[in-house]
Amino acid sequence: MNTDLPEGVQRVGAFLAQRGHAHAPRMLDDAARTAQEAADALGVALGQIAKSIVFKRLPDEVAVLVVTSGDQRVDEKRLAPRVCAAGQKLARADAEFVKARTGFSIGGVSPVAHATPVVQVLDASLFRFDRVWAAAGHPHGVFPATPAELVKLTGAQLADVAQGETSPEAEARRTRALLAARAAVVAASTEGEVPSPCSSVCCMSPASGLCEGCARSIDEIAGWSGMAPAARRAVWGRIAQRLQT
């Protein structure tokens, strides 16, 4: 690790190296304190910037860090049920809180290598892109990763927490997009538990013969509990193919 780099970038670089990530942090010539500045400096789409938004959960004052696309805004009403128990709520985090909990200053908050444990959520909007860029602990520092790699590196909960339309048609699209993102994460992993595709939507489509929430057949749903990991991965592979049609 280059000891001339800022301390935060060195910490992120060491974290990435320890986990075998193929790409070390890169220093930009100009500061990129906003997603737009980072996109302009890298010559990529705004959505390819994986921006970190920190909330303060009350009353326990735990940091909740959401990683979402640079062209999206976090919907706190979608986020809160995923990170708050009864009696808890979300509040905006000030610069002092962000620095104390993550170890990074606003404008350079990395999704990894935090000073204290944080609750982390990764928004499915990132999966629109093959590669995204995240802050590396300093306004000049960034590193690339696939969205699935970010899920693995952060251990974040994958969810749909971006603002957007709430019509039935829009919600159906969001459900499919989240399912496709989950399929990509499974495809990128070769070890560990294979999660169930089941979602909050459970309704068989007469037209396709598939569940509208998880894109499985009735036989795949019924047989899931008795399947070996390889068979479960095969089901996820078929789900990914179905979502592309």
pTM, two decimals, is 0.92
Q: Which residues contact 209 (CB under 8 A, 6 or more apart)?
A: 217, 218
From first to last of its 245 residues, the chain has per-residue pLDDT tens of: 566 889 999 999 999 999 999 999 999 988 888 999 999 999 999 999 999 999 999 999 999 999 999 999 999 999 999 999 999 999 999 999 999 999 999 999 999 999 999 999 999 999 999 999 999 999 999 999 999 999 999 999 999 999 998 898 999 899 999 999 999 999 998 888 899 999 877 889 999 999 989 999 999 999 999 999 999 999 999 999 999 87
Residue with tokens 């990530």: 21
Residues in the chain: 245
User: Rounded to 5 degrees, what angle do the CA atoms 180, 160, 185 make?
Assistant: 35
Backbone phi, then psi, for 69, in 5-degree steps? -70, 150
Domains and CATH numbers, the chain: 7-159 (3.90.960.10), 168-243 (no CATH)
In angstroms, the first-to-last Cα distance of the chain is 45
The token pair that represents 129 in the structure block = 């892109």
